[in-house]
Amino acid sequence: DQQVKQNSPSLSVQEGRISILNCDYTNSMFDYFLWYKKYPAEGPTFLISISSIKDKNEDGRFTVFLNKSAKHLSLHIVPSQPGDSAVYFCAARKDYGQNFVFGPGTRLSVLP
Amino acid sequence: NAGVTQTPKFQVLKTGQSMTLQCAQDMNHEYMSWYRQDPGMGLRLIHYSVGAGITDQGEVPNGYNVSRSTTEDFPLRLLSAAPSQTSVYFCASSWGSGTMNTEAFFGQGTRLTVV
């Protein structure tokens, strides 16, 4: 039973447009959420995070929105660039420690 | 700083063989963990450690063993390799503990194939 879901395995977007990646979770005890980006043959790299006490966090072109009542978060990338093409993982912290539960990932392709 | 270093990058094992995946970090992080990534399933936690001498099981610990004798190193041992352990393995570390909101830093991964 996946506690963190990313229902879109892939997404294609034109360069310069907005990319929206979605993530849903089932465990209301999750209190911290992160997005990771992963290129082929590399490890995941941290992108942006949000605490459950906030509903939005921005860092340059990247914004994460959290809707606790819907147990839904999204990552917005504006404007999208070809270098953003990667697999994006949504992750949630469990049990207050440093353990994370990951979603299956969404492959983003930004077309020039 | 090298960050989190994993060796080897690739490995092919025969069923029943044992091996150790190495992980080292130079950031003085207390927390370290091992994940495996399988197609369509994201990353799943195998074992983790909150400091030297302390380890605990994650979501999928069967068939794996860990120890943490130093802050820097956190090796993962496969006791008797099985084809179901074919996966990409990632080691991660973070400086936070308890309720601190911190991210994990990942190594480049080890791609393991068991035949």
The pLDDT score that the predictor gives to residue B65 is 97
The pLDDT score that the predictor gives to residue B95 is 84
* Residue A104 to residue B33, Cβ atoms within 8 A: no
- Residues A103 and A93: beta-carbon distance below 8 Å: no
Backbone angles phi, psi at A14, to 5 degrees: -75, 145
Q: Using only C-alpha atoms, what is the Rg of chain B? A: 13
CB-based contacts of A91, cutoff 8 Å, min separation 6: A4, A33, A34, A35, A36, A100, A101, A102, A103, B43
Residues of A in contact with B109 (CB under 8 A): 41-43
Q: Is B94 buried (19+), middle (13-18) or exposed (0-12) by CB count in 10 A?
A: buried
Tens digit of pLDDT for each residue in A54-105? 999 999 999 999 999 999 999 999 999 999 999 999 999 976 677 899 999 9
Count of CB atoms within 10 A of residue B48's CB? Answer: 23
According to the 3-state scheme, what is the secondary structure of B65-84?
A: EECCCCCCECCEEECCCCHH
Comparing C-alpha atoms, which of B39, B75, B49, B45 is closest to residue B61? B45
Count of CB atoms within 10 A of residue A9's CB? Answer: 11
The pLDDT score that the predictor gives to residue B85 is 97
The pLDDT score that the predictor gives to residue B99 is 63
Would you call B31 an interface residue with chain A, using a CB distance cutoff of 8 Å? yes
The pLDDT score that the predictor gives to residue A95 is 66
The pLDDT score that the predictor gives to residue B4 is 97
Tens digit of pLDDT for each residue in B31-41? 999 999 998 88
Tens digit of pLDDT for each residue in A25-49? 999 989 899 999 999 999 999 999 9
Written as one letter, the residue type at B109 is G
HSE-up (13 A, CA, CB side) for residue B25: 27
The pLDDT score that the predictor gives to residue A94 is 74
* Residue B42 to residue A46, Cβ atoms within 8 A: no
Mean pLDDT for all residues in chain A: 94
Substitution target in B54, B94, B101 with the highest count of A β-carbons within 10 Å is B101
With a cut of 70, which residues of chain B have pLDDT below it?
1, 96-99
| Closest Cα in chain A, distance from residue B1 (Å) | 16
